[in-house]
Amino acid sequence: MSQVVAIRGPKAPLHRGGAIDLREMSRTELSAFLTRKLGMPRFRGDQIFSWLHKHRARDLQAMTNIKASDREKLAQATSLGHLTVDQVHRAKDGTRKFRLLTAEGFALESVLIPNDDRGYTQCISSQVGCALTCAFCATQTLGFSRNLATWEIVDQVYQAQDLLAAEAEKTGQKWPERVQNLVFMGMGEPLHNYNQVKRAVEVLTDDMGADFAGRRITISSAGLVPAIARFGREGLGNEVGLAISLNATTDKVRDVVMPINTRWNIATLLKTVAEVPLHRRRWVTFEYVLLAGVNDSDDDARRLHQLVAKMRCQINVIPFNPHPQAPFKRPSKTRVKRFTDLCRKLGLRAFVRTPRGDDIDAACGQLALKGGPKPGSLPGSLPVVS
């Protein structure tokens, strides 16, 4: 097996540009900034925050109840950036995948997934590329360019909502469908960009802005143990959901599939997760990407039960989304069903996450790779579990 780096450093720092972006601040921070730096009354912070995050104003001139002199102060002291929508691909099942560009031209992705009933779940990115080197993930071949700023995270949501509103207007639909759920499962390890992700959650859940319910937001981690511990200490488990990308039941397999395991093994990871205080109605979600012949055996199902049975959790069984950057195959439908049924028989809450958007490069990172950096080398041979 070739050696891989568990956690890589960024190629560039967080992009600050010049003046601070208005959407980089929570409502409290914005009000304090306007009062301290620009001499505006505190109520102005609530007004401007609402324009930015409830009405999704794209420029200062749209803020019609803000007097012209205050808008001029804002124009001189702050900025209001937007990601560029480079491509939007739509799958047969209604999934939309965006490729968005930062000011420097870095590519990132966001995906809109239709819910079974109504509305959409949006998968959002937290980094350009990823610091981790999970062998099944297309994003890892991009390397790690930089963390996303708070405004770049929330702008992904607003760009998606604007798209849905434009589609509704075009078709004459009176009430556009909405983004109802947010999952931090796009490009990047969210907890590796902890401060920006936490502030983005604060912004998105503010009732004077986008007003998302915390129970409809889930943050996923590949196993960054110190950040998971911080997530627990700071009480985020009482606000949003926690998902852990597990994907193996032995350290031998996980070391290769997810090299972060060489830093914090399965036992350490699960002990830390078990200590995270959760809201009484919340369950930890363990994501388990099924890789044919690698982690999908009956013995894996039994070991998975032994590992997590004492935790208040559910298992999301995810058939691998094949892509050219990874040497894996999706298990057969029969194998997926057998694995899931055995988990349920053993007493686990297990659900199959239906693969979406196979026809539009739905695997995380694939669209960003097109025309982007040349993919790096893949990890070496994987142990096959019989």
Average pLDDT, the chain: 90
**Partners of 87 in the beta sheet?**
99
Q: Right CATH number for 84-369 from 1.20.950.20, 3.90.1150.10, 3.20.20.70, 3.40.50.1820?
A: 3.20.20.70
Report pLDDT for 13: 81
Mean pLDDT of 35-49: 96
- Between the alpha carbon of residue 280 and those of residues 213, 239, 241, 265, 350, the distances in Å are 16, 11, 12, 27, 20
CB 315 within 8 A of CB 351: yes
Statement: residue 360 has pLDDT above 60: no
337-353 pLDDT, tens digit per residue, is 999 999 999 999 999 98
Mean pLDDT of 231-255: 96
List the Cα angle 242/146/121 in 5-degree steps: 40
Statement: residue 82 has pLDDT above 90: yes
**Closest among 275, 218, 272, 222 to 241, alpha carbons compared:** 218
Mean pLDDT of 355-366: 56
260-306 pLDDT, tens digit per residue, is 999 999 999 999 999 999 888 889 999 999 999 999 999 999 999 99
Q: Is 241 buried (19+), middle (13-18) or exposed (0-12) by CB count in 10 A?
A: buried
Active site residue 364: yes
CA distance 352 to 341: 10
What residue type is 235 in one-letter code? G
Mean pLDDT of 222-243: 96
CA distance 52 to 26: 11
Least confident of 3-17, 226-240, 326-340: 3-17
DSSP secondary structure string for all residues of 85-145: EEEEEE-TTS-EEEEEE-TT--EEEEEEEE-SSSSEEEE--SEEE-SB--TT-SGGGG-EE
CB 199 within 8 A of CB 152: no
Tell me which of 109, 152, 189, 239 is the catalytic residue.
109
Confidence of residue 374 (pLDDT cuts 50, 70, 90): very low
CA distance 160 to 121: 10
Helix (H) and strand (E) counts in the chain: 11, 14
129-140 pLDDT, tens digit per residue, is 999 999 999 888
Mean pLDDT of 93-99: 92
Mean pLDDT of 119-123: 96
CB 205 within 8 A of CB 246: no
Report pLDDT for 354: 78
Tell me which of 130, 137, 313, 364 is the catalytic residue.
364
Statement: residue 372 has pLDDT above 50: no
165-177 pLDDT, tens digit per residue, is 999 999 888 888 9
Mean pLDDT of 315-333: 93
Helices 194-205 + 150-171 axis angle, to 10? 40
Statement: residue 381 has pLDDT above 50: no
More confident residue, 106 or 367: 106
Query: What's the topology of domain 20-79?
Result: DNA polymerase; domain 1 (1.10.150)
- Residue-range domain boundaries for the chain: 20-79, 84-369
Statement: residue 12 has pLDDT above 90: no
Sign of CA dihedral 29, 34, 38, 39: negative
More confident residue, 144 or 378: 144
